[in-house]
Amino acid sequence: MDSKVECVCYRNCGDEDVTPGFLAQLMSQFYYLGWMSGSAGAIAVATDNSVYVSPSGLQKERLCGADFFEYDVKWNELIYRPPNKLIRETACSPLFKYIMQTRDAKCVFHTHSKYSNVLSSLITGKEFRMTNQEMIKGILCGKSGENLQNSDNLRVPIIENQNSEHLLLQDLKKALQEDPKICAVLVRNHGIFVWGPTWDKTKIMLECFEYLFEIACETYRLRSSPLIK
């Protein structure tokens, strides 16, 4: 294999140093995809020594590394907080901590995309299911860590929204305890939590989920259209 190709492939597999500045850039990308508009969304990413947590209520396309909170890897000690005392830690922190400590996850993303919101409002039940879609292969099984097959049954539980993210914790705990295979939870009329073993694998899963949600919403719309017979 050509050495240049090897280098590119390696750098696309999470080789970048995970720093607060890098995470700020990542959140900016999510903003421009429409997943973190209006100061919405949050992330937590663990390294060997630290856990970096995003702030609350700030414009996600304008974040810098100094805006992030830093904990020790066990979440016992706050190592760094932004100098501006008005900056608050995301209300998702209790959920991030629980997911990381019970699922051996190193990264959790929480986004507010249109399609995750619309899809959860279209479904009256407590879960989203899909099968026979190629992009399912980009999703990991939360229990084995292996990629699903396109013929597998993808399941994402849906929990009800609350006035603040930290109030979602009990329902999130229940969803995770009931199904160790999941790696995402939808919040009705709100958004989604996705977690994984590395930031890049979690990003890939988030992109695949968003693609599948869009497919589901578009299929519903077209089947409801008088133009489709």
CATH number of the domain enclosing 130:
3.40.225.10
The reply to whether 100 falls in a domain is yes
Task: Give CA angle at 58 (56, 62), nearest 5°.
Answer: 140
- Residue 190 maps to a domain: yes
Asked if the structure places residue 20 within a domain, the reply is yes
- The whole-model pTM stands at 0.90
123 vs 126: CA distance, rounded Å: 8
pLDDT at 47 over 50: yes
Is residue 70 domain-resident?
yes
Q: Are strands 55-56 and 78-80 parallel, antiparallel or unpaired?
A: unpaired
Q: How confident is the model at residue 170 (pLDDT cuts 50, 70, 90)?
A: very high
pLDDT in tens, 118-128: 999 999 999 99
Domain count, the chain: 1
Range of the domain at 9: 3-224
| Residues noted as catalytic | 134
- Whether 122 maps to a domain, the answer reads yes
Residue 220 domain flag? yes
For the stretch 30-44, pLDDT in tens is 999 999 999 999 999
**Among candidates 157, 141, 153, which has minimal Cα distance to 196?**
141
Answer whether residue 229 is part of any domain. Answer: no
